[in-house]
Amino acid sequence: MKEANLEKVYDPKAVEEKWMTRWEEEKLFHAGSQSDQPPFSIVIPPPNVTGSLHLGHALNSTLQDILARWQRMSGKNVLWLPGMDHAGIATQNVVERQLAKDGQGRHDLGRAAFIERIWEWKAQSGGSILKQLKRLGASCDWSRERFTMDEGLSRAVQTVFVRLHQEGLIHRDKRLINLCPHCRTALSDIEVEHEDLQGQLYTLRYPLAEDPKKGLTVATTRPETMLADTAVAVHPEDPRFNQWIGKKVTLPLTNREIPIIGDPILVDQAFGTGAVKITPGHDFNDEKSGKRHQLGKYSLIGWDGKIHRAALLEAEVESDLVQELDQQTMLAARKIILEKLDKAGVLVQTEEHLMSLGKCYRCKTVVEPFDSPQWFVKVNEPGCSLAQEAVDAVRQKKIRLIPESWAPNYFGWMENIEDWCISRQIWWGHQIPVWYCKSCDHGHILKTGSGDTMIAEHATPIVGERTCQSCGGEDLIQDPDVLDTWFSSALWPFSTLGWPADVQLDEAGQKEAQALLKQFYPTSVLVSAFDILFFWIARMIMMGLHFMKEVPFRDVYIHALVRDAEGQKMSKSKGNVINPLDLMDRYGTDALRFTLASMASPGRDIKLSEDRIEGYRNFCNKLWNAARFIQMNRPEKINPSPPSEGDGLQGVCNRWIQSRLNETVQSVDVSLQNYRFDEAAQAIYQFTWHTYCDWYLELAKVDLQNEATREESYSTMTAVFERILRLLHPMMPFMTEELWTHFQKDPGFIAVAPYPKYHAERRDISAEDVVQEVVIATILAVRHVRGEMNIPPSEQLQVFINVEDKKVQAAFEAQKTYLQRLARLSEVSIGVGIEKPPMSATAKTGRCELYLPLDEVRIRDEIERLKKRQDKVIKSLEILEKKLANPKFTANAPVEVVEKTKTEQEQFREEQTRFITEIEHLQHLLSGESGRT
RNA sequence: GGGCGGAUAGCUCAGUUGGGAGAGCGUCGGCCUUACAAGCCGAGGGUCACAGGUUCGAGCCCUGUUCCGCCUACCA
């Protein structure tokens, strides 16, 4: 036990840094791969290596830390594994921007040097987020930190790629993908954000080839793509046009004629003109239709998103236009083409139209559907559907989604999932483990203008080998593309544990990996925000099931997004981002953590208001001052270690507080089991402040003054406080660790102290009854009178307590001193049928009637007070009587309910009678008084 | 278009075998009461979005409506 006195106000800065360092030094959070304790494991949702801590991370990490610390204290072998992902596009962008300052591009450095440069950047300024997580108190096993580009994880990525390829689940195909012209790479479907905007819908008229007077009108929001049209589709059952199917139209501005086809899937007769232009090279739906009808495909743009000459020539665009459009963006081309169309009399109509536009989720550039060879994962292959297995796992409850309401979303997405484009045309990431033979595929290995290598569509990939199958040659070139970052993130729950163990570098490494995987896979729970449910969670489930034959985690706890006080999503562009580090500086980390925990109700976003944080900062201070109070009341002779669970206590308040604490422990345990962080936080808050501080410590002031009761009182308040600290530690690790040192002889660390356990048999009903019904109820009754009549606490009151029998009288006599002190009473007289002084306020509790003598001046106030109370009673009584008067109620409601209602009715009636009598009595007194003077 | 969620005190939100409408913050009144004014004591404040239905009884179950948010797919 430390002698040093506590400061009057809790100062978080003074303790937070110290403890995180100490915890780390002592390796308290290291999870052994060999342990007899039951395992509990969480892998962190890897934050982005370029990222810094925002409130979403703070919430996410706080919740994980609460679980980790709670389970650790409960005796589990806890692994909370930290790490980051390499964030291919984002990181490459960061370093390219740095280079740009010196007027350089990545091609100036070359691939190897550029990647070297990124590693340097990472070493210097990457991953600051993990340091910030430490400040938050995250009890990760930092010795097991992982990074998706680590050697081990890279081997896992390669293994997975090769195996999926062998199984036919990865293949190369040339088709439309989402191109971000700024990032110059393909994106997967979900990396495209859709944004609504007001655009224009243009109606064009394509003349019939055999009779130009006739023609079809088509509508489009992107008229510039018309140069690449390869057909016009109508509905085969549309009587207006179906006789034209098989004929041709002349495609304006080109020298081509294109067929009219019938396509019931693409065309909605009721919409627009009823005819649709088909551009398989620039539109996903058209591409599908094109496949159905074996149409050709023209792609006007290149990787830079710009139109290029060769494509225009191929599409037989009129020659004067070729010159004008070469090197234009599609958007710039629109203006030119519209002019030409108008001139040619083809543009029939322009109207406003609400549409949505796809943008790159990283850089917000408008994405272009772009035809190019890419690698895809077949996620829904008949006979071996990764998606189907992932759906089944959730449907069969092998994985629990919490809250469950996410399931329909998950199922809906998984059931409509399309192939996953996994290749990216960037340098930072896992280079695709595929090679091509330089001699056999000579013609397919191309150089682009910027110096990049391109592998053409029909090259023969060599996967899992280092020699060419056809020529036996070893002069190979690796596929220049890298894999989607999410491809490696999808392996995170097992790649971080050392999978595949058999390719670890040495025997010791293999053994460790095997042990870790055995011990910690499947992980216990994944804690994540819903916005990456599809990006990441769904893919982990697919990969985990496929490669581990077992789910990656049992529970998925999906928490909310943190929004600002107005409910707006925080974003840099809106400027409403609240920096959690700033909040931690101002209110303390514990206060922030407690706020986040107490607002984490399932299925609802968190609108973070600073008032709330301030409230919990005050709570920190409250607890701190409770500690001070205890410290200041330490008896001269230090007493022996306190009875830990409260056996054999004499004092009724001591028995009561132990019993209440035990109930709180149970409710916290149940709440945490159910991921109800908000309920757990509230239960602790309520008990600590409103039961322990407001009542128990105040009552204990009486016992501390008495030689006979002092020791037990002190040891109980210490024991309960010490258990509050442990109960609270997962939510407020810093302050509880600090205070712990003041309350333990041989402190060790609270972080690894046992978590309080509930003992059903320790409930002390009789103590609860005495304290609640005799002590608290009586004190409250006096306080109500005081408060409602504005009698200041400095004015001590006299009270007469009228009780039913001797037994109750004895109970009150025994608690007299508590009543005196907390109700601020000068004199307390207790008796059976004790006489009521004529001029007094009255109150009633379940056990007694109280009379508080008042002077004449206050009698008027008392009448008013009684009338107000009476009004309330009358209202309640009316409701109850109406209920009981209804024969259907008495006949149909359960007996208990009817009985309860009757009892309440009786009580209210009694009260009402009392009020009437009392008010009359006082009024009579007053008129008597006035009559006398 | 499909899906999900929300609407309860001035604000932020709890509230499941259907029977008591609650918490924190703010507001008002009284307090330096020997841990804490970041505190203590008390008070006021609600047509539980709207309209129906089921039921003896609905914040809760059912149907519809309105408004708000998000996800997803997009109509050329």
| pLDDT tens digits, one per residue of A480-523 | 999 999 999 999 999 999 989 887 778 888 999 999 999 999 99
> How far: A406 CA to B71 C1' (Å)?
10
CB A762 within 8 A of CB A662: yes
* Nucleotide with smallest C1' distance to residue A268 CA: B75
| pLDDT tens digits, one per residue of A877-923 | 888 888 888 889 998 889 888 998 898 888 889 889 989 999 999 99
| pLDDT tens digits, one per residue of A488-497 | 999 999 999 9
* Bases of chain B with protein Cβ within 7 A: 2-6, 11-15, 19, 21, 23-26, 29-44, 55-57, 69-76
Residue A638's pLDDT is what? 53
Helix H or strand E encompassing A356: strand A347-360
* Nucleotide with smallest C1' distance to residue A894 CA: B19
> How far: A391 CA to B62 C1' (Å)?
30
* Nucleotide with smallest C1' distance to residue A623 CA: B36
> How far: A352 CA to B73 C1' (Å)?
22
* Nucleotide with smallest C1' distance to residue A356 CA: B74
> How far: A783 CA to B29 C1' (Å)?
14
Residue A527's pLDDT is what? 93
> How far: A762 CA to B64 C1' (Å)?
52
Q: How far apart are CA A80 and CA A516, in angstroms?
A: 12
C-alpha separations of A770 from A736, A761, A767 in Å? 32, 19, 5
* Nucleotide with smallest C1' distance to residue A631 CA: B35
Residue A517's pLDDT is what? 94
Contacts of A189 (CB under 8 A, 6+ apart): A178, A418, A421
Which residue is closest, via its CA, to the C1' of B75?
A271
DSSP A105: -
> How far: A275 CA to B64 C1' (Å)?
38
* Nucleotide with smallest C1' distance to residue A276 CA: B76
> How far: A900 CA to B17 C1' (Å)?
19
Residue A2's pLDDT is what? 46
Which residue is closest, via its CA, to the C1' of B74?
A356
Tell me, letter by letter, the H, E, C secondary structure of A208-233: ECCCCCCEEEEEECCHHHHHHCCEEE
Torsion angle defined by CA atoms of residues A685, A687, A689 and A694, in that order, rounded to the nearest 10 degrees: 170
> How far: A810 CA to B39 C1' (Å)?
35
* Nucleotide with smallest C1' distance to residue A197 CA: B74
Q: How far apart are CA A110 and CA A186, in angstroms?
A: 21
Which residue is closest, via its CA, to the C1' of B32?
A794
* Nucleotide with smallest C1' distance to residue A234 CA: B76
Residue type at position A842? T
- Which one, of A484, A512, A660, A526, lies nearest residue A85 by Cα? A484
Which residue is closest, via its CA, to the C1' of B71?
A409
* Nucleotide with smallest C1' distance to residue A607 CA: B12
> How far: A611 CA to B26 C1' (Å)?
9
> How far: A101 CA to B37 C1' (Å)?
55
| pLDDT tens digits, one per residue of A283-338 | 988 998 898 888 989 999 888 888 989 999 998 988 888 888 888 888 888 999 99
Average pLDDT per consecutive 10 residues, chain A (933 residues; last block may be shorter): 70 90 92 90 92 87 95 96 91 90 89 93 87 93 94 94 94 91 86 82 90 89 91 89 90 91 85 87 90 90 89 90 89 90 89 84 86 91 86 89 84 84 92 91 82 85 88 89 93 94 83 93 92 85 94 91 69 72 92 91 78 90 94 71 66 94 93 92 94 96 92 92 95 94 83 93 92 94 90 91 95 95 93 91 91 88 88 86 88 89 89 90 79 41
Residue A458's pLDDT is what? 87
Residue A641's pLDDT is what? 52
Q: How far apart are CA A99 and CA A118, in angstroms?
A: 11
* Nucleotide with smallest C1' distance to residue A235 CA: B76
Q: How many CB atoms lie within 10 A of CB A831?
A: 14
- Which one, of A727, A623, A610, lies nearest residue A669 by Cα? A727
Which residue is closest, via its CA, to the C1' of B13?
A599
> How far: A738 CA to B33 C1' (Å)?
29
- Which one, of A635, A634, A659, lies nearest residue A646 by Cα? A659
Which residue is closest, via its CA, to the C1' of B44?
A788
* Nucleotide with smallest C1' distance to residue A271 CA: B75
Which residue is closest, via its CA, to the C1' of B56?
A889
| pLDDT tens digits, one per residue of A670-727 | 999 999 999 999 999 999 999 999 999 999 999 999 889 998 999 999 999 999 999 9
> How far: A570 CA to B68 C1' (Å)?
18
> How far: A604 CA to B59 C1' (Å)?
18
Which residue is closest, via its CA, to the C1' of B40?
A694
Which residue is closest, via its CA, to the C1' of B68?
A567
